[in-house]
């Protein structure tokens, strides 16, 4: 439904690489903004000066662009920076104090523990009626209503109710006068006209406090939507200390942005039928925030890889070649840069495209073409070079020396050799594959030999025969 008044926001902190959970939140916000004709606001919450880094800000903007959330789109607004609004945060804190909705408190942790007999209880309201003025060291606390409850209208979770008696008089400004994040977040959302706050469920516990602040500042709270937590295969919340969670890492490994977007959109929501591989415009059209699940969403890397494989296979051949080329020409490639031959790669690219799940796998599929000698994989050698393999290789070498060098003719040669040794073609291929390509698995053998060329094929078989004789 079109509603240009809808304003959502994505508000990351520039303290690390771009988390896949943040990417999902951004995509959900983007879908709501775009389908309504509303606005997506990017706000960088950069008040943690000890941990903020300029490159992380650039990383946020770059990662958003990679998944299709681009500054050039009319729906995009920002970025705004929370640190630029510090005076307004202090003004709001003073407004709440002057209205009697907040009070100063000089209680220490030790004093509170002595009064309550426990370090785990919330604040006991000791300073509520002391009428203290601000002095350095005195924190400003919000005066939570004593009675009633705060009902949060949540588009995902219904209307959870929080008894006000269970919400302590929480701090909104520190002893040095600086407002805490809770208040800054509310003030920024209010000033930016945010109508829907769509974010991870870890923020739900703070929502009643934020809603009370919205109301105390004389504003109508936004509609909330708290997204399910994303978990790993052990059903533990994804953690950057334990799991691979940075979007940049997946993109650097060769996951396509389109596949990442498709997969992330389905972490907690589905289109309502059996379809999973869907282009973003279709996902955006079908998405409804009200249909998001509340159950934890499993980040299944195997399923993500399967998604990515589907997208890789759907690429136009020339696009696939262009995307693979950086992997094949990078300084970290297994071969000397001058050994790479684009024309040779283009001959086998269609064969590789049907087999890759991520682009970084391309080097292991085609390295035999650009290395002086194939990779020495001892496990593959032992598996293929069983008794009789050397004799088969010698016969294959003799026949290949004068064979027509095209796949069908090469296949016929090896079928003849296999029959001579009482083997099926599949068994006869293994020694030839390991001798020429280094591994027991890879691209189709005969097309690979054609690309490798007669001279190098025979030379590698000779080297394998010499190695076998020396064992």
Binding residue numbers for Zn(2+): 105, 107, 127, 129
Residue 32 C-beta-side C-alpha neighbours within 13 Å: 29
Is 240 assigned a catalytic role? yes
- Evaluated on CA atoms 251, 257, 259, 260, the torsion sign reads positive
Catalytic residue among 234, 237, 240, 383: 240
Q: Which residues belong to the annotated binding site?
A: 105, 107, 127, 129, 240
**Contact between residue 449 and residue 410 where contact means Cβ atoms under 8 Å apart:** yes
**Contact between residue 185 and residue 213 where contact means Cβ atoms under 8 Å apart:** no
Q: Which residues belong to the annotated binding site for ATP?
A: 240
**Contact between residue 66 and residue 251 where contact means Cβ atoms under 8 Å apart:** yes
> Coil, helix or strand for 275?
coil
Q: Which residue has the tokens 């064992």?
A: 471
CB atoms within 10 A of CB 17: 16
Among the listed residues 277, 294, 90, the one whose alpha carbon sits nearest the alpha carbon of residue 173: 90
Angle between helices 425-437 and 454-470 (to 10 degrees): 90
Strands (E), 82-195: 102-105, 139-142, 149-151, 161-163, 171-173
Structure tokens at 172: 């909104």
**Contact between residue 156 and residue 290 where contact means Cβ atoms under 8 Å apart:** yes
CB atoms within 10 A of CB 380: 20
Would you please indicate which residues are annotated as catalytic (active-site) residues? 240
């Amino acid at each position: 439904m079109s509603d240009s008044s809808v304003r959502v926001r994505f508000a990351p902190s520039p303290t690390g690489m771009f988390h896949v959970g943040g990417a999902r939140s951004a995509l959900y916000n983007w879908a709501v903004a775009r389908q309504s004709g509303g606005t997506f606001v990017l706000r960088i919450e950069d008040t943690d000066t000890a941990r903020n880094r300029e490159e992380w800000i650039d990383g946020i903007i770059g990662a958003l662009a990679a998944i299709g959330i681009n500054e050039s789109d009319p729906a995009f607004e920002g970025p705004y920076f929370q640190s630029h609004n510090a005076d307004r945060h202090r003004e709001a804190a003073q407004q709440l104090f002057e209205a009697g909705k907040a009070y100063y408190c000089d209680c220490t942790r030790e004093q509170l523990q002595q009064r309550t007999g426990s370090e785990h209880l919330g604040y006991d309201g000791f300073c509520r009626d002391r009428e203290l003025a601000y002095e350095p060291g005195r924190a400003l606390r919000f005066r939570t209503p004593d009675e009633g409850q705060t009902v949060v209208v949540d588009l995902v979770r219904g209307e959870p109710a929080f008894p006000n008696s269970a919400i302590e008089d929480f701090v909104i400004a520190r002893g040095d006068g600086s407002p805490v994040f809770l208040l800054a977040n509310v003030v920024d959302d209010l000033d930016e006209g945010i109508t829907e706050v769509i974010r991870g469920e870890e923020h739900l516990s703070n929502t009643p406090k934020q809603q009370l602040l919205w109301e105390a500042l004389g504003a109508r709270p936004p509609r909330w939507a708290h997204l399910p937590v994303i978990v790993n295969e052990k059903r533990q919340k994804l953690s950057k200390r334990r799991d691979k969670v940075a979007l940049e890492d997946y993109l650097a490994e060769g996951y396509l942005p389109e596949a990442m977007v498709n997969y992330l959109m389905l972490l907690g929501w589905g289109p309502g039928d059996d379809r999973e591989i869907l282009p973003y415009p279709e996902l955006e059209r079908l998405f409804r925030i009200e249909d998001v699940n509340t159950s934890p969403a499993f980040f299944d890397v195997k399923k993500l890889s399967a998604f990515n494989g589907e997208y890789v296979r759907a690429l136009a051949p020339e696009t696939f070649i262009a995307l693979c080329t950086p992997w094949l020409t990078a300084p970290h490639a297994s071969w000397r840069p001058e050994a790479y031959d684009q024309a040779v790669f283009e001959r086998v690219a269609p064969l590789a495209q049907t087999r890759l799940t991520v682009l970084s796998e391309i080097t292991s599929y085609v390295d035999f073409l650009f290395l002086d000698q194939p990779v020495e994989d001892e496990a593959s050698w032992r598996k293929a070079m069983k008794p009789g393999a050397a004799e088969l290789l010698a016969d294959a070498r003799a026949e290949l020396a004068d064979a027509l060098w095209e796949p069908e003719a090469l296949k016929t040669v090896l079928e003849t050799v296999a029959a001579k040794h009482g083997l099926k073609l599949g068994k006869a291929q293994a020694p030839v594959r390991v001798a020429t390509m280094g591994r027991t698995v890879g691209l189709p053998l005969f097309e690979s030999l054609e690309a490798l060329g007669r001279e190098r094929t025979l030379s590698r078989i000779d080297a394998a025969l010499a190695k076998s004789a020396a064992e």
